A = this chain, B = another copy of it.
Amino acid sequence: MYSFKNDYSEGAHPRILNALLETNFEQVDGYGEDCYTQKAVELLKQKIGRNDLDIHLLSGGTQTNLTAISAFLRPHEAVISANTGHILVHETGSIEATGHKIISIEVGDGKLNKSHLKAALDSHTDEHMVKPKLVYISNPTEIGSIYYKDELEQLSRFCKENKLFLFMDGARLGSALCSEENNLELSDLATLVDAFYIGGTKNGALMGEALVICSESLKEDFRFHMKQKGALLAKGRLLGIQFLELFKDNLYFDMATHANLMAGLIRDEISKAGLRFLVHSPSNQIFPILPNRLIAELLKNYSFYVWSQVDADNSAVRLVTSWATKEEAVLAFIEDMKNAL
């Protein structure tokens, strides 16, 4: 039974474990004030090409989202999110638990655009309603689509004009940036959004997300918020060492590229077979629409999620690949699929 259920089924890239081993007995300061975290932060600034950034390492996506968003907003301010937004659906109301409403926008492809934002602003007119203030986007989105440069520029401009913060959930950012279709650079992000994070958990780390705060006004006192939300690890080195390893050469991007390639192999084969997809996805999550009969057959040897029923005979499934996905498993899956078609 091989799993295409997600990109966190395995542990970490072996280089990360080795780095932990090699540094294990050094005595360092706690709570992210260790030399490794500091080096990782400097390295990330270099990779992004900006010195005026505040970068903090946190443990996971939900933790990063709730810590950042609650730190950035005043009590009456709300978040705008696509209806597919992870914070809206799959984080157990963690944003609301910090006191903030999320305004849901129905979208087909997981992506927000300027007219969505305009509609949200137009329908929130006075103090009897929340005040929309932060736009939450994910890149790639929760359904695998990615933002292109012009799209992000347009969003960014609208946000600046309307005093909205633009926040990018980058739990799978590596996959977006390494997508064949991508035309965004890390440095673009720092210019276009107010804060974003570089996901480690879903790209080869044991855990860890690097939150990059770009806007001056959002930086102050951020470590207080981290501590208050339980997000400051005593052994902060655990995060620092991992990000140092991920970015000291091209490891982070190599892993994401591999994940994308593996998804691409399956995507191409499914396209050739004349089957369709729920959404255009050039990243490491794909959502092909398969005959239920075929799904049943594949589930004998592979695990993956059946995403949604499309019609009486067909359903969309979610297939996720990762840095650890084995090419032979992908090829076997393709073979089994062709045989069962």
Seen from chain A, the residues whose Cβ lies within 8 Å of a Cβ on chain B are 2-3, 5-6, 8-12, 14, 17, 20-21, 23-31, 59-67, 70-71, 74-76, 78, 89-94, 96-102, 104, 127-131, 201-202, 206-207, 221, 223-235, 237-238, 324
Contacts and interface: CB of A to CB of B under 8 A. Distances in A.
Contacts of A28: 9
B9 A227 contact: no
Contacts of A30: 6, 8-9
Given A11-B20, A12-B20, 13 more contacts: A6-B30, A10-B25, A11-B237, A14-B21, A20-B206, A67-B230, A71-B74, A91-B128, A92-B228, A96-B100, A104-B104, A201-B235, A207-B238
18 contacts: A9-B29, A11-B235, A12-B20, A66-B230, A75-B225, A75-B228, A90-B129, A91-B128, A92-B128, A93-B228, A94-B229, A97-B99, A104-B104, A130-B224, A131-B221, A202-B234, A206-B238, A230-B231
Contacts of A207: 233-235, 238
Given A71-B75, A94-B228, A227-B91, A3 B24 contact: no
Contact of A92 (B2, B92, B129): B129
Given A17-B20, A71-B75, A129 B234 contact: no
A226 B127 contact: yes
A99 B66 CA distance: 12
Nearest to A238: B206
A101 B98 CA distance: 10
